[in-house]
């Protein structure tokens, strides 16, 4: 008997070509050079002579439906429907005619969007998933982003930095936001407090034990009930145990702080990628405007802008002047907490293949 096999349902990343601008498809792999006519605009020219203009603008980062519709309407009217989003959630509009660039910029600015974020500007801050998607956050990373970009709006709009500056924020020290020229990350400073009455009812204890990156959690009997205990000498206060076991509360209005890290770079354009290094810790997690963290970031940017040579990234600037000079010019205190070269990581970190999230 003939059997009609069901066709497989393809899922995963769709073919990107169907969404590309016709000029991009026509000249795929055939681009000659690009220029930067003004902040927020790039012009690419192909060997065929075709030109494509990209206009970039800033948003509040997490986009509501109203804002998305507004952006799409502008795209339909001024860019023949060609809009895409960067990894930092910035919309980019593509037009193939120079005459369409200025009306598009005007429409965006009239709607309240800031055109910029290209070349040697402070790019939009990338932040981690935060409360929208993740179960660990110690703060609202997107809130830090909005408050900080409000302060840095002129650095986004202009191209006045020695080189491009990438800022990142992460709402726990797992730091899935990645490496940044300057990173603002939540830092818990006390181990979790366990509500033993609830553990037996709420937690899947093996999951919690497996989740700890330094193997600091053990099953324990407390008051005749199954519970857990934390070896506080081992605990690195990462907060990973809280999601599978909410009675292990680690978020704290006083003891959950912000830390600032400097010099991370994913790129291997001129040197190896680098990890960012801790430069300030114990900064109050002070929503909604995070004034203390903002003040430190602005101080670092000011010194970088004044002290770096043209096209030096922040890590290259620090490498040239040295870390002692960095702490001197930024007036940040250097403490014993700043030294960690990871020589002990093999002994200190749980490298079991059973570690999972
Ligand atoms: S930084 Fe931490 S809390 Fe924030 S989204 Fe990433 S893993 Fe979750
Ligand atoms: S998961 Fe993190 S916070 Fe929880 S006990 Fe282990 S090191 Fe401490």
Query: pLDDT tens digits for the chain (357 residues)?
Result: 667 888 888 788 888 899 999 999 999 999 999 999 999 999 999 999 999 999 999 988 888 999 999 999 999 999 999 999 988 889 999 999 999 999 999 999 999 999 999 999 999 888 887 777 887 886 777 777 888 899 999 999 999 999 999 999 888 877 877 789 999 988 899 999 999 999 988 898 999 999 898 899 999 999 888 999 999 999 989 888 988 898 998 988 889 999 999 998 887 888 888 888 899 999 998 888 889 999 999 999 999 999 999 999 999 999 999 999 999 999 999 887 776 655 665 565 555 555 444
Å from CA of 174 to ligand 1 middle: 6
Hey, whose CA ends up nearest to atom 2 of ligand 2? 238
Å from CA of 239 to ligand 2 middle: 6
Å from CA of 243 to ligand 1 middle: 11
Selected from 2.120.10.30, 3.10.350.10, 3.40.50.720, 3.30.413.10, the CATH number assigned to the domain covering 126-189+253-348 reads 3.30.413.10
Q: What is the CATH number of domain 193-249?
A: 3.30.70.20
Closest CA to 91 of 102, 79, 103: 79
Closest CA to 86 of 121, 126, 144: 126
Q: Give the predicted TM-score (pTM) of the model.
A: 0.86
Is residue 354 exposed (0-12), middle (13-18) or buried (19+ Cβ within 10 Å)? Answer: exposed
Hey, whose CA ends up nearest to atom 8 of ligand 1? 134
Pull the structure tokens for residue 256. Answer: 């959950």
Å from CA of 137 to ligand 2 middle: 14
CA distances from 137 to 141, 146, 243, 287 (A): 8, 17, 9, 14
CATH 3.30.70.3340 domain range(s) in the chain: 29-115
Pull the structure tokens for residue 51. Answer: 């030109």
160-183: pLDDT as tens digits: 999 999 999 888 877 877 789 999
Alpha carbons 128 and 168: distance in angstroms, whole number = 8
Hey, whose CA ends up nearest to atom 8 of ligand 2? 235
Q: Is 176 in the pocket of ligand 1 (CB under 6 A)?
A: yes
- Asked if 130 and 142 count as a contact pair (C-beta separation under 8 A), the reply is yes
Position in ligand 2 atom list of the atom nearest CA 188: 3
Alpha carbons 80 and 55: distance in angstroms, whole number = 13
CATH 3.30.70.20 domain range(s) in the chain: 193-249
Hey, whose CA ends up nearest to atom 4 of ligand 2? 241
Q: Compute the chain's Rg from CA coordinates.
A: 24
- Phi and psi, residue 323, nearest 5°: -65, -40
Hey, whose CA ends up nearest to atom 2 of ligand 1? 172
Å from CA of 261 to ligand 1 middle: 16
Looking from the CA of 143 toward its CB, the CA atoms found within 13 Å total: 17
Hey, whose CA ends up nearest to atom 7 of ligand 2? 235
* Protein residues whose CB sits closer than 6 Å to any atom of ligand 2: 191-192, 211-212, 214, 216-217, 230, 235-241, 250
Thinking of the domain 29-115, which architecture would CATH place it in? 2-Layer Sandwich (3.30)
Position in ligand 1 atom list of the atom nearest CA 134: 8
Position in ligand 1 atom list of the atom nearest CA 133: 5
Å from CA of 201 to ligand 2 middle: 20
Q: Is 134 in the pocket of ligand 1 (CB under 6 A)?
A: yes
Q: Is 350 in the pocket of ligand 1 (CB under 6 A)?
A: no
For residue 288, say if its preceding peptide bond is cis, omega within 30 degrees of 0.
yes
CATH 3.30.413.10 domain range(s) in the chain: 126-189+253-348
Cβ atoms within 10 Å, residue 173: 18
- Asked if 149 and 264 count as a contact pair (C-beta separation under 8 A), the reply is no
79-92: pLDDT as tens digits: 999 999 988 889 99
Looking from the CA of 285 toward its CB, the CA atoms found within 13 Å total: 25
Ligand closest to Cα of 250 equals 2
Looking from the CA of 61 toward its CB, the CA atoms found within 13 Å total: 23
Ligand closest to Cα of 137 equals 1
């Amino acid at each position: 008997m003939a059997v009609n096999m069901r066709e497989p349902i393809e899922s995963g990343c769709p073919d990107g070509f169907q969404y590309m601008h016709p000029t991009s498809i026509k000249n795929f792999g055939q681009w000659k050079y690009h220029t930067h006519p003004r902040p927020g605009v790039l012009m690419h020219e192909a060997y065929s002579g075709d030109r494509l203009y990209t206009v970039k603008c800033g948003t509040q980062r997490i986009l509501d439906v109203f804002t998305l519709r507004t952006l799409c309407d502008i795209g339909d009217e001024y860019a023949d429907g060609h809009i895409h989003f960067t990894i930092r959630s910035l919309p980019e509009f593509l037009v193939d005619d120079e005459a369409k660039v200025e009306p598009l910029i005007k429409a965006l600015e009239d709607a309240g969007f800031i055109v910029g974020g290209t070349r040697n500007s402070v790019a939009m801050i990338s932040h981690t998933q935060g409360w929208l998607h993740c179960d660990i956050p110690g703060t609202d990373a997107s809130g830090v982003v909005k408050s900080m970009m409000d302060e840095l709006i002129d650095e986004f709009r202009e191209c006045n930095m020695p080189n491009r500056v990438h800022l990142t924020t992460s709402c726990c020290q797992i730091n899935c936001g990645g490496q940044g020229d300057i990173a603002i990350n939540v830092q818990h400073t006390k181990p979790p407090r366990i509500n033993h009455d609830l553990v037996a009812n709420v937690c899947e204890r093996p999951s919690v034990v497996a989740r700890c990156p330094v193997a600091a959690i053990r099953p324990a009997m407390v008051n005749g009930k199954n519970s857990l205990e934390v070896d506080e000498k081992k605990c690195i206060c990462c907060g990973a145990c809280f999601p599978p076991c909410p009675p292990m509360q680690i978020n704290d209005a006083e003891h959950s702080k912000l830390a600032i890290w400097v010099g991370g770079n994913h790129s291997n354009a001129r040197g190896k990628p680098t990890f960012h290094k801790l430069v300030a810790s114990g900064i109050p997690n002070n929503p909604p405007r995070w004034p203390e963290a903002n003040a430190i970031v602005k101080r670092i940017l000011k010194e970088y802008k004044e002290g770096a040579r043209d096209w030096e990234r922040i890590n290259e600037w620090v490498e040239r002047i040295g870390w002692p000079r960095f702490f001197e010019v930024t007036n940040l205190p250097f403490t014993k907490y700043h030294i960690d070269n990871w020589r002990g990581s093999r002994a200190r970190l749980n490298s079991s293949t059973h570690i999972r999230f």
